[in-house]
Amino acid sequence: MRPSDPTARASRADPAHEARGPAPQGRGPVRYGPPLPEPGLPVLPELAGVVAGAAARPCAEPPGGPAALLEAARGYWHRRGLTDDRARIAAAPGGAPLLLALTAALGGDVLVPRPCSAWWGPQARLLGHDVFHVPTPAECGGVPDPYALLETVRRVRAEGGDPRLLVLSVADDPTATVPPPEVLHETVEAAAGEGLHVVSDETWRDTLHPGSDTVLFSPAEMFPAQVTVVTDLTGGYLPPSLPAACARFPRTGHGDRLADRVLDFLTATGAVLAAPVAAAATYVLTEPEAVADRRTAAAALHARVAGAAYRTVLAGGGLALPPRSGRHLYVDLDPLRPALAARGVTDAQDLEDHLTERLGMAAPGGHRFGDDPAALRVRLSTGPLLGSTQDERRASLHAPEPLELPHVARLLTRVGSVLDDLRDDAGPVRTDGNGPAGEGWESER
Q: What is the pLDDT of residue 20?
A: 35
Residues with Cβ within 8 Å of residue 94, at least 6 apart in sequence: 232, 234, 243, 244, 245
Q: What is the pLDDT of residue 3?
A: 34
Q: What is the pLDDT of residue 60?
A: 87
Q: What is the pLDDT of residues 167-194, one digit of tens each?
A: 999 999 999 999 999 999 999 999 999 9
Average pLDDT over residues 83-96: 92
- Assign 220 a pLDDT band (cuts: 50, 70, 90): very high
- Answer whether 64's CB lies under 8 Å from 259's CB: no
Question: Is the pLDDT reported for residue 365 higher than 60?
Answer: yes
Q: What is the pLDDT of residue 192?
A: 96
Q: What is the pLDDT of residue 59?
A: 87
Q: What is the pLDDT of residues 51-62, one digit of tens each?
A: 999 999 888 899
Question: Is the pLDDT reported for residue 443 higher than 60?
Answer: no
Distance of CA 332 to the CA centre of its chain: 18
For the chain, how are helix, strand and coil distributed in percent, rounded to 5? 45, 10, 40
Q: What is the pLDDT of residues 242-296, one digit of tens each?
A: 999 999 999 999 999 999 999 999 999 999 999 999 999 999 999 999 999 999 9
Question: Is the pLDDT reported for residue 213 higher than 90?
Answer: no
Q: What is the pLDDT of residue 202?
A: 98
Q: What is the pLDDT of residue 428?
A: 59
Q: What is the pLDDT of residue 15?
A: 36
Integer Cα distance of 327 and 36 in angstroms: 9
Question: DSSP states of 117-170 as a string?
Answer: -TTTHHHHHHTT--EEEEEPPTT-SSS--HHHHHHHHHHHHHTT--EEEEEEES
Integer Cα distance of 285 and 91 in angstroms: 12
Q: What is the pLDDT of residue 426?
A: 65
Q: What is the pLDDT of residue 427?
A: 62
Question: DSSP states of 315-377 as a string?
Answer: HTT-B-PPP-BTTEEEEE-GGGHHHHHHTT--SHHHHHHHHHHHHTS---BGGGGT--TTS-E
pTM: 0.89
Peptide bond into 115 cis (omega under 30): yes
DSSP label of 116: -
Q: What is the pLDDT of residue 35?
A: 78
Q: What is the mean pLDDT of the chain?
A: 89
Question: Is the pLDDT reported for residue 433 higher than 80?
Answer: no
Question: Is the pLDDT reported for residue 83 higher than 70?
Answer: yes
CA distance to 145, 230, 267, 393, 444, per residue, from 39 (Å): 30, 20, 30, 10, 31
